[in-house]
Every structure is written in structure tokens, then in C-alpha cells.
Amino acid sequence: MSDFWTPRVRCLDPYVPGEQPQDQQYIKLNTNENPYPPSPAVAKALKACDSARLRLYPDPESTALRAELARRFRLDPAQVFVGNGSDEVLAQAFQAFFQRPEPLFFPAISYSFYPVYCRLYGIEARPLPLRGDFEIDTDDYRGECGGVILPNPNAPTGRLLPLDAIERLCRQQPQRVVIVDEAYIDFGGDSAAALLPRHPNLLVIQTFSKSRSLAGLRLGYALGSTELIEGLNRVKNSFNSYPVDSLAQIAAVASLQDEAWFDDCRQRIIATRERCAEALGRLGFRVLPSAANFLFARPPGGNAGELYRTLKARGILLRHFATPELDAWLRITIGTDDDMERLLDSLAELLD
Ligand SMILES: *Cc1c(COP(=O)(O)O)cnc(C)c1O
């Protein structure tokens, strides 16, 4: 604690990202990164860049990138907002829509950045308990609130809500913004972007970090009514007019133009996930159904923390959340078939 800190900074409880160890090579299955490289079109576009152009500011509106995203989702470019990672887009959305006297509804088990933003922006958080098997019941999201946010598929459970449930949430809160954080939607769900024409209060947020193998690029985006996008632009232009750098804009457009690469990578991850879920089941794990690029699984015997540490010592990193509700579980990012083979071999040995 420092006396120089403002009262708000003293109260912060910052987000702790998954480990990014710089010391040794791990089989890294802890932060939901994609095991495959981005489209070769990205490298080609970056190599063609003239570094002299970096003396200029980037296009503050990311016009070409927003046009490409609009085309992909059959929206008007005025319905697309881009930012420096979806975490930043989320932060802007919290300021634009959720700073209200009423509490923000979100699932008690979900992305742990949401309560962090609530503290930062002075928003009352109202985490709503999940039902059996970590299911979300949309009936719990009725009543007075300042807004609703949830990941779909949920993190860290991987469980998917169907689009009719998302639509119910939008209908239940017509005066409030409902944000669906679709960081993992490309691994097995239908995007709520399809509901945008009917629901002006819906904001869909996606990222290039997971399904497009570009976590290092830091690029996320929001899709919504022009009204909501204008709100985001008001916040952005009161904070940083140039959040997305020129290289990121170029690389992202190249990624979007190679649909075949994108489809191939995600199909491979989905296939690996299904094989891995079965194999974990045979080892006695309880595995939740997942529509994401990770599995949420409870090892036999229940000592997930110890298993996490033993695997780390063997060079395999998983994610373990040491909270009362999640302590018995492990979140396992889907890597290559080879990565998963090595994980399964180690587990078979340790659990023998
Ligand atoms: C990974 C993740 C994000 C953050 O994505 P970035 O675009 O890398 O900032 C947002 N929401 C959820 C649920 C995530 O898992």
C-alpha cells in the first residue's frame, strides 16, 4: 500500500493472467492459446509492410479491418468496433454501458476479469450462482440490473448456451445492454451476431486471440447496433484515439481473408478435443461437455492442485483455479494431437 495511491487503486484486486513462463519450454496448455500458427497470409502481409510507414499514426477508425469484419458478419461497418484485445473492448463497454447505480449481473463462475473491471469502474457486481453441472439458468437474470455479461461458451467450464437462451436474456432486459463474450464461439457454437437485427441492446464481443491464433497481436472487436457502437466510440475517443496499431490492422485483415486456414485449424482443434475428452473419461476424469478450445475436467481422487504441480514439474502446464468451487477441477487447453498424447501418457502413469 502506498499513500500515493488513490482510494480506488487501493481497493483494486487485479486480474492474474495464466502463467507465461519465460524460463523453460513447457507443453503449454494453460492459457487457451491456439497450438497452430496463424494463416501464412499474415506473415506475408507483415513482410510486405514498409517500416517507414510506422512514422505515421494508424488509421484511427481501422476502416479496412472494420469493413472486412462487417462483410464477414453481414453487418454495416458502423456496427463494428475494434480494440487492442477484447479485454480492452470489454473495459470500454463496462464504461459505456454498465457504470450505473444498479448491479451488473454475471455468472458467479465465469471470466474473472468481470469483477476486476467492476472494482476499477465502481460498478456493483452481482455474481449469480450456477446450477448443477455449472449450468446457467436464464431465469436467474431477471429483475433490476445495470446490465448483463456472460461468456458463451462459458469460461472456464466450456459450457455453451443455445441462441434461444441468449435471446431470452435480451428480451428480459430490453432497457439494458446484454454482452455476450464470444472468445471461444468458433470452437463449436453459433454466434449471437445472428440476433443483432432483432436486439438493439445486444453486444457481441469476439477476439483474434484464440481461434485466429493471434493472441500476441492483441485484437478484439464488438458487434452491435449503431447506437451501441457509437457509445463505445465515445469512450474510445475519450481515452485513446489510436488503440489498434497499423501492423495489427494489416495482419488482422490478412487473417480474415484466409477462411480456409481458419476453418481447418478450428476443425482440427474440435476433433482433438473430442478424442481427448474420451481418453480423459477412460482415465476416470469427469469431463464437462465443451464447445471451446479447452476441457474442464475433474481428475479421479479430486486432488487437482497436486496433479497440476506434478505435471508442471514434468514440463506440462495446465490451469488450476484454487477457489472453493473450482479447486477439484483442471482446465486443459487443447493443443496439438502430439501435446495431448504426451499429457495423456503422463496422466496414465501418474494415476496408475
Ligand atoms: C481470452 C478471453 C478474453 C480476452 O481476449 P483478448 O482478446 O486476448 O484480450 C476475453 N474473454 C474471455 C472469456 C476470454 O477467455
Same-domain pairing of 249 and 296: no
Residue 219 CA: nearest ligand 1 atom is 7
Domain-located, residue 164:
yes
User: Same domain for 137 and 181?
Assistant: yes
183 Cβ below 6 A of ligand 1: yes
Amino acid 109 reads I
Q: Are residues 165 and 241 in the same domain?
A: yes
Check residue 17 and give its pLDDT: 83
* Domain range enclosing 61: 41-257
- Domain end (from 238, 257, 276): 257
- pLDDT means per 10 residues, the chain with 352 residues, are 92 87 88 97 97 96 98 98 98 98 98 95 97 96 98 98 98 98 97 98 98 97 98 97 96 98 98 98 97 98 93 96 94 98 97 84
Distance 81 CA to ligand 1 centre (A): 16
Q: What is the pLDDT of residue 130?
A: 97
Structural domains counted in the chain:
2
In this structure, the answer to whether residues 205 and 307 fall within a common structural domain is no
Q: Which atom of ligand 1 has the smallest separation from the CA of 87? A: 9
* Chain mean position to CA 107: 15
Q: Of 226, 171, 213, nearest to 37 (Cα)?
A: 213
Establish whether residue 252 lines the binding site of ligand 1, counting it when its CB lies within 6 angstroms of any ligand atom.
no
What pLDDT is attached to residue 134?
Answer: 96
CA of 207 to the centre of ligand 1 (A): 7
In a domain, 1, yes or no: no
Substitution site in 20, 114, 154, 209 for ligand 1 pocket (most atoms within 8 Å of beta carbon): 209
> Which CATH number is 312's domain given?
3.90.1150.10
88 Cα: distance to centroid of ligand 1 (angstroms): 9
The answer to the question of residue 135 being in a domain is yes
Which residue's CA is the nearest one to ligand 1's atom 11?
Answer: 183
Q: How far apart are CA 232 and CA 5, in angstroms?
A: 28
* Cβ–ligand 1 contact at 158 (below 6 Å): no
Check whether residue 294 and residue 216 sit in a common domain: no
Ligand 1 atom at shortest distance from the alpha carbon of 208: 7
Burial class (CB in 10 A: 0-12, 13-18, 19+), 346: middle
Ligand 1 atom 2, closest CA: 183
Centroid of ligand 1 to alpha carbon of 307 (angstroms): 26
**Final residue of a domain: which of 257, 276, 300?**
257
Same domain, residue pair 276 and 238: no
What is the pLDDT, as a whole number, of residue 20?
87
84 lines ligand 1 (CB under 6 A): no
Which CATH number covers residue 99?
A: 3.40.640.10
- Mark which of 214, 231, 257 sits at the end of a domain: 257
Identify whether 4 is part of a domain.
no
Determine, yes or no, domain membership for 8. Answer: no
CA angle 141, 147, 151 (to 5 degrees): 70
Task: Point out which residues pair with 107 in neighbouring strands.
Answer: 128
Per-residue pLDDT at 56: 97
Helices within the chain (DSSP H only): 7-11, 40-47, 63-73, 86-93, 113-121, 163-172, 226-236, 246-257, 259-282, 304-313, 337-350
Position 285 in a domain: yes
- Do both 66 and 212 map to the same domain? yes
